[in-house]
């Protein structure tokens, strides 16, 4: 139950129009819900910095910046890392000797009392943004780890399964793996890569689409770490010769997450990749996807159609699932029945009937689709069309009066047509059902804290002639990455989408035949006014959201 301070603060945010328009937990937070469990600062329309400013103003507390926290002496050793990460507080001693507790939630009286017991009564409370607290904690914990690296203990023989199981269940290994997963969640990583080499384990996190090395797990055996991950995912720790896949649901710090685990035998042992799927992804609002106004209008027009097929294309990790889930949230009304079959269910959407494929028992995309049409749905979402059977069933579902949403792996929007034909869909059927194709990529977003403007010079065009093909000119001002503590020195923080939306007109449908040339469809669509991913990316560069290098990294100049 929320305390009076939290209820009053929620009322204050609502009165100032800072709560995002959403009929969900945030709207009920003022009615007795403990908003700390709901991460209210993520459900508002405010950035983390703006939220901290409002909290400091409402509670009449001083603000503390990331620079001030990192300049102070950390006192994190007096607390457990789990306590600090779950409560999002940062204890430190400032240069003038003041003991300060930086907090995100000033209403958390239990945490304040616990900190006072450890640090003493003369404690000064200041408000910090959630991002700054996480960065300061990670920096302090990394410094402690580098100062206390232990030699890896000698372990059991490879065939001593029981000893390995005991070691993997021991406190040091359990703590090391849990801390790694929590750190990955806090750094917004989508994947954890644990790779054995002759010199030991290498650990890398995929953050904003690129891998970033982190401190390896010290003081624990590599095979014990992989065995611990297998135990979490309910895999066979005795099997080291074959790949294994598993999944689990965990709580990491303040976040509930699902993980997918893939184990692969390599020359120096087993490597593990952990895909992190946060259960709380925030609000699914089409405005946050990054569509240009004309493309958003086209999308909303397509979603008003009663039946047909809408395809989203792009490589793995390009944000297709997020776009699909956002579209479903738009369509999700009491008057519509929506069924989905996914692998896995990454977003849980109240009011939508979601299923996950289970090939081991015969529940595939195709078999689920056949059952769906007997469930009287209005909208069907197929996580991915991977084979001819699924493609045919999806097309026939669209022919029989359903709106079908699905994904494909193609390079451009126009390439979806020959890909579906290659999967065996007849051209005359595709002309009847295909309504639109969205192609997308994710590019890294420039860090708002450290990005800086500069004019393009002749040397830039000499170094990369593609800049001219994108339409940039000498002396044009662009924003470039610099690097700071907030973005980990990369100059980028977060990602945004670049899109191209192909709406099938009658002229484009006439090009669909058994030997369709995707290039001709692409050229006609561009002449008809389709904005390509490159054009969308250039517009986002000129808006100061990303850099030309990022656009050229993910898209090909046509």
Third-level CATH fold of 1-144: GMP Synthetase; Chain A, domain 3 (3.30.300)
Residue 126, pLDDT > 90, answer yes
Closest CA to 378 of 356, 405, 357: 405
The pLDDT > 70 percentage for the chain reads: 87
Instruction: Just give the CATH number of 158-278.
Output: 3.30.450.90
Amino acid 101: pLDDT = 93
How much is the pLDDT for 34?
A: 39
* pLDDT 10s digits, 37-46: 445 665 666 7
429 φ, ψ to 5°?
-70, -40
Ramachandran class of 336: left when φ > 0, alpha when ψ lies in -120 to 50, beta otherwise: beta
pLDDT over 90 at 19, yes or no: no
Run of H or E including 252: strand 244-252
pTM attached to this predicted model:
0.73
What is the model's pLDDT at position 311? 97
Least confident of 6-10, 151-155, 472-476: 151-155
The pLDDT tens digits of the residues spanning 455-471 come to 999 888 988 888 998 88
Instruction: Tell me the fold of 286-446+495-536.
Output: Rossmann fold (3.40.50)
For the cut 70, the answer to whether the pLDDT of residue 537 exceeds it is yes
Q: What is the DSSP string of 321-385?
A: HHHHHHHHHHH--TT--EEEEESS--S--TTSEEEE-BGGGTB-HHHHHHHHTTS--SEEEES--
pLDDT score for 38: 45
Confidence of residue 150 (pLDDT cuts 50, 70, 90): very low
Domain ranges of the chain: 1-144, 158-278, 286-446+495-536
**Average confidence (pLDDT) over 85-101:** 90
In the beta sheet, which residues pair with residue 309?
404, 434
**Among the listed residues 226, 329, 316, 223, the one whose alpha carbon sits nearest the alpha carbon of residue 281:** 329
Residue with the bigger pLDDT between 15 and 364: it is: 364
What does the mean pLDDT of the chain come to? Answer: 84
Q: Which residue has the higher pLDDT, 435 or 107?
A: 435
């Amino acid at each position: 139950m929320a305390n009076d301070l939290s209820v009053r603060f929620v009322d204050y945010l609502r009165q100032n129009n800072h709560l995002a328009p959403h009929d969900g937990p945030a709207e009920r937070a003022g009615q007795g819900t403990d908003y700390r469990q709901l991460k209210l600062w993520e459900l508002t329309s405010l950035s983390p910095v703006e939220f901290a400013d409002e909290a400091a103003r409402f509670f009449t507390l001083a603000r503390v910046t990331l620079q001030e926290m990192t300049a102070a002496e950390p006192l994190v050793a007096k607390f457990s890392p789990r306590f600090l990460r779950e409560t999002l507080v940062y204890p430190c001693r400032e240069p003038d000797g003041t003991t300060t507790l930086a907090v995100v939630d000033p209403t958390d009286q239990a945490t304040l009392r616990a900190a006072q017991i450890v640090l003493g009564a003369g404690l000064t409370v200041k408000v910090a943004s959630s991002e700054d607290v996480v960065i300061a904690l990670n920096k302090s914990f990394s410094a402690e780890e580098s100062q206390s690296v232990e030699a890896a203990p000698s372990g059991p023989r490879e065939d001593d399964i029981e000893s390995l199981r005991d070691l993997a269940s021991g406190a040091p290994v359990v703590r090391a793996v849990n801390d790694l997963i929590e750190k990955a969640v806090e750094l917004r990583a989508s994947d954890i890569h644990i790779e054995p080499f002759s010199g030991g384990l290498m650990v890398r996190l995929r953050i904003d689409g690129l891998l970033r090395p982190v401190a390896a797990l010290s003081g624990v055996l590599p095979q014990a770490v992989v065995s611990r991950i297998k135990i979490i995912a309910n895999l066979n720790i005795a099997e080291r010769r074959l790949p294994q896949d598993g999944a689990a649901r965990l709580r990491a710090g303040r976040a509930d997450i699902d993980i997918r685990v893939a184990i692969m035998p390599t020359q120096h042992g087993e490597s593990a990749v952990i895909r992190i799927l946060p259960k709380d992804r925030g609000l699914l609002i089409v405005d946050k996807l990054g569509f240009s106004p004309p493309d958003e209008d086209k999308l909303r027009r397509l979603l008003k159609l009663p039946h047909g097929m809408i395809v989203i294309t792009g490589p793995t990790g390009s944000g297709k699932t997020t776009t699909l889930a956002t579209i479903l949230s738009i369509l999700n009304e009491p008057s519509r029945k929506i069924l989905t079959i996914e692998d896995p269910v990454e977003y849980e959407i109240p009011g939508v009937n979601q299923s996950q494929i289970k090939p081991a028992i015969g529940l595939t995309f195709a078999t689920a689709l056949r059952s769906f049409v007997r469930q009287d749905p209005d909208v069907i979402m197929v996580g991915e069309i991977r084979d001819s059977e699924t493609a045919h069933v999806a097309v026939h579902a669209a022919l029989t009066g359903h709106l079908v949403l699905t994904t494909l792996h193609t390079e451009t929007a126009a390439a979806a047509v020959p890909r579906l034909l290659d999967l065996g869909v007849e051209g005359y059927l595709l002309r009847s059902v295909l309504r639109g194709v969205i192609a997308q990529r994710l590019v890294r977003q420039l860090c708002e804290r450290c990005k800086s403007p500069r004019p393009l010079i002749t040397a830039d065009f000499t170094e990369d002639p593609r800049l001219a093909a994108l339409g940039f000119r000498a002396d044009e001002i662009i924003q470039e990455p610099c690097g700071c503590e907030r973005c980990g020195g990369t100059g980028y923080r977060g990602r945004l989408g670049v899109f191209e939306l192909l709406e099938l007109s009658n002229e484009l449908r006439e090009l669909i035949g058994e030997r369709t040339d995707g290039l001709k469809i692409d050229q006609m669509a561009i002449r008809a006014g389709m904005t390509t991913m490159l054009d969308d990316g250039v517009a986002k560069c000129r808006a100061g959201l990303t850099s030309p290098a990022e656009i050229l990294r993910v898209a090909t100049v046509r």
